[in-house]
Amino acid sequence: MSILIVEDEPKTVSYLKKGLKEAGFNVEVAKDGEQGIELARKNTPDLLILDVMLPKKDGWEVITDLRNGNLNMPVIFLTAKDPVEDRVRGLELGADDYLVKPFAFSELLARIRTLLRRRSEEFSVNNPLRVSDLKVDPIRQKVWRNGETIDLSQKEFQLLLLFLRHIGEVLPRNMIIEKIWDMHFDPGTNVVDVAVRRLRSKVDEPFESKLIHTVRGVGYVLEEQ
């Protein structure tokens, strides 16, 4: 999967490039709007990360240009600008997502993966999911580990399902809040930590190998280590 970053601030470019490469993406960088359009047309990347304030042509112009030229790859806007009207404008012009600085890299990553997944392989929700010795039947809402049935509450089950759909991906706290409780702001509480702790106490604690791991300062990840 290839990503084009259109951003003029060198430090931002540097960490985005590094982080995205390590997450397994092919990364290209354009330093201004014109170069961005040129590279997007030439290489047709799978996704575009577009800063709003750019030299030569700003983000609005870039996306308008691309959409008019029938380039429909997902675009994520990054901006330090006032979010309220800009967010609406960005989405109207055809952006798929919008992140306001400062944002967590893990959140950007999660959103990129969601967008790319939405475009390619639709996740098959209804097959039994399996990691190591953990097995989940999403239809009958049953969970087994090491052959034992585990009883989970509704929210705990949803949380486990969310983890299983993003195996190996770090899920930031606000993404968990958004997906599980449909709250679109950060309430600044440790509800997520409590929920994960309860899930762990049932899914992980009685067993030898641990599946849910804390990534300090970021969130949680479910993977076999």
Partner 1 sequence: MFWKSNKIQEKGKGISSWSITTQLVVLYTLSAAVILSLTTGFLYWILENNIENADQRFLNDKIEVLKSISDETHPGFERLKEEVQWEVEAYQFNRYYARVLSSDGEILIETPNMLSILPVSIFSRTNDGMQSAGDTREWKSADGQQYILMSDQVAPSRGGNGPRFVQVALNVSSQQQILAEYFHALLVVLGIAILFSAAAGAFVARKGMKPLAEITKTVKLISASKLQKRTQPDRWPSELTTLARAFDEMLDRLESSFKRLRQFSADLAHELRTPINNLMGETEVALSKTRSAEEYREVLESNLEEYNRLSMLIKNLLFLAETDNNRRKLSKTVLSGLNVLEDIAEFYDMLAAERNIRIQLHGQVDISADPSLFRRAISNILSNAIQYAPNDSTINITMFRNNGRTHIKITDQGPGIPTEHIPKLFDRFYRVDNSRSTKLGGTGLGLSIVKSIMDLHGGEITISSQTKEGTTVQLIFPAL
Residue spans of beta strands (DSSP E) within the chain: 2-6, 26-30, 47-51, 75-79, 97-100, 129-131, 134-137, 142-145, 148-150, 171-172, 212-215, 219-222
Sheet holding 2-6, edge to edge: 26-30, 2-6, 47-51, 75-79, 97-100
190 counts as binding partner 1 under rule CB under 8 A = yes
99 counts as binding partner 1 under rule CB under 8 A = no
d(CA 136, CA 134): 7
143 or 159: CB nearest partner 1: 159
- For the CB of residue 95, give the shortest distance to partner 1 in the complex, in Å: 19
Of 10, 102, 140, 149, which lies in the binding site for partner 1, with binding defined by CB under 8 A? 102
11 counts as binding partner 1 under rule CB under 8 A = no
Yes or no: say if 78 and 52 are a contact pair by the CB < 8 Å rule.
yes
- For the CB of residue 216, give the shortest distance to partner 1 in the complex, in Å: 4
117 or 213: CB nearest partner 1: 213
Beta-bridge mates of residue 144: 135, 149
Which SS3 state, helix, strand or coil, does residue 21 take?
Answer: helix
19 counts as binding partner 1 under rule CB under 8 A = no
d(CA 62, CA 217): 34
Yes or no: say if 186 and 128 are a contact pair by the CB < 8 Å rule.
no
Which SS3 state, helix, strand or coil, does residue 27 take?
Answer: strand
47 or 170: CB nearest partner 1: 170
185 counts as binding partner 1 under rule CB under 8 A = yes
- For the CB of residue 40, give the shortest distance to partner 1 in the complex, in Å: 30
103 or 144: CB nearest partner 1: 103
Mark the segment that binds partner 1 (CB under 8 A) among 48-56, 63-71, 134-142, 184-192.
184-192
The angle subtended at Cα 98 by Cα 114 and Cα 103, nearest 5°, is 90
Q: Which two tokens stand for residue 167?
A: 């195996």
- Please give the residues from 195 up to 214 whose contact with partner 1 meets the rule CB under 8 A: 195, 198
Residue in this structure with the two tokens 């540097």, named with its chain if needed: 14
φ/ψ (deg, to 5) at 49:
-110, 120
Q: What is the DSSP letter of 143?
A: E
Of 43, 44, 146, 189, which lies in the binding site for partner 1, with binding defined by CB under 8 A? 189
- For the CB of residue 104, give the shortest distance to partner 1 in the complex, in Å: 7
Number of residues that bind partner 1 (CB under 8 A): 27
115 or 176: CB nearest partner 1: 176
State the residues that interact with partner 1 by CB under 8 A: 82-85, 100, 102-104, 155, 177, 181-191, 194-195, 198, 216-218
